């Protein structure tokens, strides 16, 4: 049974200052009579957050990095907004009785804390932060089943699958096919990537405007790996039921295939406002703020096989999704640090996947870890990746 949509959906946007967060606020602003931003959070970008608070007049704002406090002027925030500092504030608002829906738009494993609190308190949870499911998918889904929280994906592929699944009985599902744009280096060999990839090129995604971490993940195709793991737990699938195809136009957001061979797709121009809005209005559909398909213009859609040799990060995702246990937390943490080191010029692009594999192999695998085990391993994998050196540079 889909959850009932309240007449006024009171929303907390975790990561309001990011790419997902600002798109989410655009959606809220466009539907002011039915959607209300009641709480907004940022990590350090307090000026942007303050401007958002002047526009949306939320009751609460959270700045999760408390060290920022000293630099904020007395009148920066509107008088009706209570400002809290520190990561505890994320949990407090994610579980607050004044909130119906929590949008998880924080980047990285830092998003787990707020997402967990939202699931624990049985909210409607619009989950963009795929890392939450990569790190602790089985635990999060188990908790949601217990509390009655409704997890609605925001990631465009998972939103497409969530929508496609409504067309048939769950037991008649054969498999899902996640589409991937292929990123800026689609068609490049590993050798060409080694020679020609720069930070600037990796940050220039051909079809999507996103934050830097996910943009680099799209270039290595680690993003698709994280999405394979996300899909496995979110939709309770066997790894054999998940496939990936390269679709450079980013118009078909994914496919659902049923036992009779019927394949259902969800199409729309690449714009995150659509899946964000759907997560806020489900099971209703409202006229949107995103561009729509123009069928008077020619439109070509291509589907190509994924190149697992040129993009070893993709292979890693399937392996990790199959093994489960502690692998997701280790891969995610190692990748977060590797992406940071790549952006600082301290790691080569092609070393990201290699280093992640090394750290995965070196970890103490546990098939059914607790949340505490996962958080400890997250810290361990981060340290290992900080120290990782390629054989060439030793």
Pick one of 31, 44, 190, 376: the residue that binds ligand NDP (CB under 6 A): 44
Residues 256-285 that bind ligand NDP (CB under 6 A): 272
What is the closest distance, in whole angstroms, from the C-beta atom of residue 135 to ligand NDP in the complex? 11
Out of ligand NDP, Mg ion, none, which partner does residue 214 contact, by CB within 5 to 8 A per kind? ligand NDP
What is the closest distance, in whole angstroms, from the C-beta atom of residue 230 to ligand NDP in the complex? 9
Kindly report the number of other CB atoms within 10 A of residue 89's CB atom: 21
The residue count of the chain comes to 394
Q: Is 230 in the site for Mg ion (CB under 5 A)?
A: no
Pick one of 17, 181, 290, 350: the residue that binds ligand NDP (CB under 6 A): 17
What is the closest distance, in whole angstroms, from the C-beta atom of residue 227 to Mg ion in the complex? 6
Alpha-carbon distance of 371 to 369, in angstroms, equals 7
Residues 61-90 that bind ligand NDP (CB under 6 A): 64
Under 8 Å between Cβ of 161 and 170: no
Q: Please identify, among the stretches 37-45, 243-251, 294-302, 378-386, the one whose residues bind ligand NDP according to the rule CB under 6 A.
A: 37-45
Q: Is 182 in the site for ligand NDP (CB under 6 A)?
A: no
Residues 132-161 that bind Mg ion (CB under 5 A): 155-157
What is the closest distance, in whole angstroms, from the C-beta atom of residue 25 to ligand NDP in the complex? 11
Out of ligand NDP, Mg ion, none, which partner does residue 81 contact, by CB within 5 to 8 A per kind? none
Chain center to CA of 379 = 20
Under 8 Å between Cβ of 143 and 120: yes
Structure-derived torsion over alpha carbons of residues 47, 333, 193, 178, reported in degrees to the nearest 10? -90
Q: Is 207 in the site for ligand NDP (CB under 6 A)?
A: no
Alpha-carbon distance of 375 to 109, in angstroms, equals 9
Q: Is 45 in the site for ligand NDP (CB under 6 A)?
A: yes
x/- track of binding to Mg ion for residues 328-347 (CB under 5 A): --------------------
Q: Is 357 in the site for ligand NDP (CB under 6 A)?
A: no
Out of ligand NDP, Mg ion, none, which partner does residue 20 contact, by CB within 5 to 8 A per kind? ligand NDP
What is the closest distance, in whole angstroms, from the C-beta atom of residue 150 to ligand NDP in the complex? 18
Alpha-carbon distance of 99 to 248, in angstroms, equals 38
Out of Mg ion, ligand NDP, none, which partner does residue 57 contact, by CB within 5 to 8 A per kind? none
The CA-CA-CA angle for residues 340, 87, 9, to 5°, reads 105
Out of ligand NDP, Mg ion, none, which partner does residue 340 contact, by CB within 5 to 8 A per kind? none
What is the phi-psi region of residue 182: left when phi exceeds 0, alpha when psi lies from -120 to 50, beta otherwise? left
- Interaction site with ligand NDP (CB under 6 A): 15-21, 42-45, 64, 105-107, 110-111, 128-131, 155, 208, 210-211, 213-214, 272
């Amino acid at each position: 049974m889909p959850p009932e949509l309240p007449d006024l959906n009171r929303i907390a946007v975790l990561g309001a200052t990011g790419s997902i967060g600002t798109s989410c606020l655009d959606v809220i602003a466009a539907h002011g009579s039915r959607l209300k931003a009641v709480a907004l959070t940022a990590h350090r970008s307090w000026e942007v957050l303050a401007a958002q608070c002047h526009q949306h007049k939320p009751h609460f704002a959270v700045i999760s990095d408390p060290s920022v406090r000293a630099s904020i002027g007395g009148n920066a925030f509107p008088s009706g907004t209570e400002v809290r500092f520190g990561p505890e504030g994320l949990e407090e608002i994610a579980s607050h009785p004044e909130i119906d829906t929590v949008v998880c738009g924080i980047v990285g494993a830092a998003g787990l804390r707020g997402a967990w609190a939202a699931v624990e308190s049985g909210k409607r949870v619009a989950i963009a932060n795929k890392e939450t499911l990569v790190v602790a998918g089985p635990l999060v889904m188990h908790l949601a089943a217990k509390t009655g929280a409704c997890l609605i994906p925001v990631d465009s592929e998972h939103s497409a699958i969530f929508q496609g699944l409504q067309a048939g009985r769950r037991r008649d599902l054969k498999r899902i096919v996640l589409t991937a744009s292929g990123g800026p280096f689609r068609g490049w060999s590993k050798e060409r990537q080694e020679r020609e990839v720069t930070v600037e090129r990796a940050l220039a995604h051909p079809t999507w405007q996103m934050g830097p971490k996910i943009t680099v993940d799209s270039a290595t195709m680690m993003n698709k790996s994280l999405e394979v793991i996300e899909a496995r737990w979110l939709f309770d699938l066997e790894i054999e039921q998940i496939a990936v195809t390269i679709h450079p136009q980013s118009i078909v957001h994914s496919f659902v295939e049923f036992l009779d061979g019927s394949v259902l797709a969800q199409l729309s121009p690449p714009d995150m406002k659509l899946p964000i809005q759907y997560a806020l209005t489900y099971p209703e559909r409202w006229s949107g703020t995103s561009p729509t398909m123009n069928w008077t213009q020619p439109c070509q859609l291509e589907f190509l096989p994924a190149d697992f040799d040129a993009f070893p990060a993709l292979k890693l995702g399937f392996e990790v999704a199959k093994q489960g246990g502690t692998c997701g937390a280790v891969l995610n943490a190692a990748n977060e640090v590797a992406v940071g080191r790549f952006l600082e010029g301290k790691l080569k692009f092609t070393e990201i996947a290699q280093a992640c594999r090394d750290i995965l192999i070196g970890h103490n695998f546990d098939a059914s870890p607790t949340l505490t085990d996962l958080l400890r391993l997250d810290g361990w994998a981060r340290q290992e990746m900080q120290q990782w050196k390629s054989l060439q540079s030793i």
